[in-house]
Amino acid sequence: MKSNHNIIRELLKRHPEGLKSREIADITGIDKRVVNKALESVFGVYIDRWERSVFRNTLSAVWVVVDVPENCPKPANTGRRSLERISNPDDAIFLNKRREIND
The mean pLDDT value for 6-34 works out to 93
The mean pLDDT value for 51-76 works out to 81
Query: What does DSSP assign to residue 69?
Result: P
**Structural domain boundaries, residue 60:** 3-65
75, part of any domain: no
**Has residue 8 got a pLDDT over 60?**
yes
73, part of any domain: no
71, part of any domain: no
**Has residue 1 got a pLDDT over 60?**
no
The mean pLDDT value for 10-21 works out to 94
Mean pLDDT of the chain: 78
Q: Which residues have a Cβ under 8 Å from the Cβ of 53 and sit 6 or more positions away?
A: 59, 60
Check residue 103 and give its pLDDT: 45
26, part of any domain: yes
50, part of any domain: yes
> What is the rounded CA–CA span in Å between residue 46 and residue 69?
16
85, part of any domain: no
> What is the rounded CA–CA span in Å between residue 10 and residue 4?
10
Check residue 17 and give its pLDDT: 94
Question: Per the structure, how many domains does the chain have?
Answer: 1
Q: Kindly report whether the global pTM for this prediction surpasses the value 0.75.
A: no
**Has residue 87 got a pLDDT over 90?**
no
97, part of any domain: no
Burial class (CB in 10 A: 0-12, 13-18, 19+), 27: middle
70, part of any domain: no
Question: Which CATH number characterizes residue 27's domain?
Answer: 1.10.10
